[in-house]
Amino acid sequence: MLTRLLLLFLLFSSPLLAQTQREAGLELVLLADASGSIDPEELVFQRQGYALAMTDPAVIAAIQGSIYGNVAVTYVEWASNTAVVVPWMIVDGPETAELFATALIGPPRQAYGSNAIGGALLDAKRLIEQNDIFAPRAVIDFSGDSIRNSSGPGIAQARAEVLAAGITINALPILRPEDGRRAGVNLEEEYANRIIGGPGAFMVTAEGRTSFAETVRRKLVLEISGLTPETHRTASTSPVEVFPQQ
């Protein structure tokens, strides 16, 4: 955390860089599974789910009610490689949310192969550190249906580097009751123990296709608002089902 705060201070205190920096309340990397277990139809379905969630009135209200009134978002798909589907975009209302959603639907698939979760987390970290955006918070929103890591850096090593940089990792494990859970019955436990981390880290489980967009919506509202599951439960009469870091 100290490392990230120091970097932000040095960057923002430079007059030249301060003129070129864009400001946002949150840098959010949506890091979505595009490995071999995700077929073309499912890839499109995931993108549509995120597009619907980003343009949902509840998400727009969370954005406009945040301290900066905006968020910086990028959508990245991961497999053996990672591919940026939508570059960094500042979303501050319905119009820019719609632009993000439109940009998300069109591009062809560019991530292929098996799982490289560690590499994906480190690539997301680089996207945060090397952009032109100043934000007091940074979150990697990792989603997937497996915990396997077939190539590249180990998950533990990558996770430690991300957390040391002051970046929070939240997760969205995707359960697939129609064909079994890809990582066995303990996918949620594995994500809780091995993926999420950092201040206020949590995960929300996508139980299946029918509830996917709604699950993403609930998760985005929490992340953008800077709420932990506990504070959301305190403020809401209908709490979302989330799993905070143990």
Q: Which range of residues forms the domain containing residue 230?
A: 2-7+25-186+196-244
Q: What contacts 130, CB < 8 A, 6 or more positions away?
A: none
Least confident of 5-14, 23-32, 146-155: 5-14
Residue 129, in any domain of the structure? yes
CA distances (Å), origin 172, targets 36, 146, 187, 189: 18, 11, 10, 12
CATH number, domain of 176, equals 3.40.50.410
CA–CA separation, 101 vs 141, rounded Å? Answer: 17
Q: What contacts 126, CB < 8 A, 6 or more positions away?
A: none
Query: Strand ranges (DSSP E) for 126-238?
Result: 133-134, 138-144, 168-173, 202-204
pLDDT tens figures, 131-166? 999 999 999 999 988 898 988 899 999 999 999 999
> Could you tell me the pLDDT band of residue 242, with boundaries at 50, 70 and 90?
very low
Residue 12, in any domain of the structure? no
pLDDT value of residue 16 = 44
- Dig out the tokens for 164 from the structure: 């040391």
- Segment 171-186 mean pLDDT: 66
Residue 13, in any domain of the structure? no
> Could you tell me the pLDDT band of residue 118, with boundaries at 50, 70 and 90?
very high
Query: Could you tell me which of 93, 87, 86 has the C-alpha nearest to residue 66?
Result: 93
CA–CA separation, 234 vs 239, rounded Å? Answer: 8
- What would you report as the CA-atom Rg of the chain, rounded to the nearest whole angstrom? 17
pLDDT value of residue 184 = 52
Whether 13 has a pLDDT exceeding 70, the answer reads no
Residue 18, in any domain of the structure? no
Residue 191, in any domain of the structure? no
- Dig out the tokens for 171 from the structure: 């997760």
pLDDT value of residue 185 = 58
pLDDT value of residue 175 = 82
> Across the chain, which distance is largest between two alpha carbons, in Å?
55
- Segment 76-97 mean pLDDT: 96
Whether 11 has a pLDDT exceeding 70, the answer reads no
- Dig out the tokens for 232 from the structure: 């959301």
To which residue do tokens 């996207």 refer?
Answer: 127
Whether 181 has a pLDDT exceeding 70, the answer reads no
Residue 17, in any domain of the structure? no
Whether 179 has a pLDDT exceeding 70, the answer reads no
CA–CA separation, 67 vs 75, rounded Å? Answer: 23
Residue 124, in any domain of the structure? yes
Least confident of 162-166, 228-232, 240-244: 240-244
Residue 23's φ and ψ, nearest 5 degrees, are -110, 140
> Could you tell me the pLDDT band of residue 3, with boundaries at 50, 70 and 90?
low
Compare 8 and 46 and report the one with higher pLDDT: 46
Total domains in the chain come to 1
